[in-house]
Amino acid sequence: MFAETFISYRKDESSDRIPGGAGYAAVRRAAMCCIGCMVLAGCSGLFGGKMKTAEAWVTSADGSSLLRSTGKLQKVDGSLRKSGSLPAVNASLNPREKFQTIDGFGASMTESSAWCIASLPQEERDVLMRRLFDPVEGLGLSFLRQPMGSPDFALSTYSYDDIPPGQTDFALERFTIDRDRVWILPLLKQAKEINPALKIMASPWSPPAWMKTGGTMLGASGGRLREDCYQAYADYFTAFIRAYEAEGLPVYAVTSQNEVNYAPPLYAGMLMSPREEAVFVGRYLGPTLEKAGLDAKIFCYDHNWDHPEMAAAVLSDPEASKWLAGSAWHHYAGEPGIMSRIKEQFPSKDVWFTEGGSGRWIGKGTFSGNFREGMSMAVSIMQNQARSLVLWNIALDGNNGPIVFPNTANYGLVRIDVDPATGKGSLSQTERASLYVLSHFSKFISPGSRRIGMTIDGSDLPGVAFRNPDGSSAAVFWNPYFSDLSIRAGIGADQWIVPIPSHSAVTVVFDR
């Protein structure tokens, strides 16, 4: 069973979870075979004129099915049509109706995530990384949002230019990414090697303390970006991008500030008004990146859906707009339709969804509660023009950390229990719903795919469809109802019967 071979390494009759044991090797081989066969089944028959096959994968909120393949679906033929027993609900994909191009699906390799993963034995760590990033044998995560310096999920607060209080470093002579070399960079390099299509974007939670009016990286007490540091901060971005590129990690995009409208009291952050952001992007960051020959995209705002006027103000600014690729969004307040409205207002600018956490505040922290809300939100996000679906931490420990302040509410995609005495980690058997939410997209929808039109007649069943670069199509459905559904789905006359259990997500791949 896929759920039993993915990350958990549950015991079989012959061995425990120790890497190198006979049972471990058998489980690993079975897992690779299972995942590879499932993905290959979704990539065959690329050159035929008609859709040849369709296969579905299902995850249920009660955990009874976890990304389980249902096998080949029954195709609607003449005899079935004549029988009069066809499902009333019909989902019709329309490849001619095209929307946003997809950059990818993923999460963040925070310092906390990297520390947890690095605590695993080497072989178990390698297997986990392949499960997460391999586009053939794994889930194909393809988009990472990396903090520039420390977010809340780090071992301690840091920037790339930390100096004693009262000093300045306008020439950035003490700039270094050495802190990232310890945990983060080795895993980013491994992820990039596993999936060369991986895109990395970056967002700062705060400038270095000396660049702020309050002299600290903390949000509430740190104040704002000093007026005399705008150019130094743009140079700081340039130094970061160049340093990562020197490590073989190109930076696809940056945002000027994480969560511009929130100043956290206990971890790094900074308020940035629309005017401040427009000036920084338009007069400093954009021109500085261009002068340095760097082509990283710039997204503005990078905060919740509840204040779209802030994003609109920056996008409307003539100086800033010249340099902006679009805006970035989080899901902690507001509603996802805002992204479509911003896209309509600024059609030449795209939207990206860049952070969505999950945890104990959703459905009392249960798998069911997090999966239900996560799937509903994910489908709606992709329906509303987002080019990416990025969740939060890839991995956290058994205390939902490490974190720089007392808070254990967030979950990672995977949980790794780290022994405080030895520092050695082991993958937990606890399933995290966000992993399966993301998997219903990342495993079946490739970077470069396009969202396509889909009408669902006979029901308000949530769903979204895509056309992959290889010619296959994929549709993701979420059944929020208490009753099972059976629908017809396909393109034109090519239709299949798709069972969708109650409170379950189903991804269907249609091959050509």
Separation CA 271–CA 325 (nearest Å):
22
Report angle CA 256, 257, 259 to the nearest 5 degrees: 145
Long-range contacts of range 241-244, CB-CB < 8 Å, 24 or more positions apart? 241/202, 241/289, 241/292, 241/294, 241/296, 242/292, 242/294, 243/160, 243/175, 243/177, 244/177, 244/200, 244/202
- Give the pLDDT of residue 296: 98
C-alpha separations of 309 from 16, 202, 333, 345, 435 in Å:
55, 23, 14, 11, 32
Angle between helices 337-345 and 308-316 (to 10 degrees): 20
Residues of the chain with CATH 2.60.40.1180: 42-100+450-511
pLDDT for residue 318: 98
Q: Which amino acid is at 509?
A: V
Mean pLDDT of each 10-residue bin along the chain, 512 residues long: 37 30 38 37 35 93 97 89 84 98 98 98 98 96 98 98 97 98 98 98 98 98 98 98 98 98 98 98 98 98 98 98 98 98 98 98 96 98 98 97 93 97 94 97 98 96 98 98 96 96 98 80
Q: How far apart are CA 484 and CA 64, in angstroms?
A: 14
* pLDDT on residue 7: 40
**What pLDDT is attached to residue 25?**
37
Where, residue-wise, is CATH 3.20.20.80 in the chain? 103-442
What is 42-100+450-511's CATH superfamily?
Golgi alpha-mannosidase II (2.60.40.1180)
pLDDT of residue 447: 98
Q: Encoding tokens for residue 39?
A: 């993905």
What is the C-alpha separation between 418 and 399, in angstroms, rounded? 9
Is the separation of the CB atoms in 510 and 474 below 8 Å? yes
Third-level CATH fold of 103-442? TIM Barrel (3.20.20)
Structure confidence at residue 34 (pLDDT): 40
Per-residue confidence (pLDDT) for residue 80, from 0 to 100: 78
What gap in Å lies between CA 374 and CA 413, rounded to an integer? Answer: 12
Can you point out the beta strands (E) in 3-78? Answer: 53-60, 68-72, 74-75
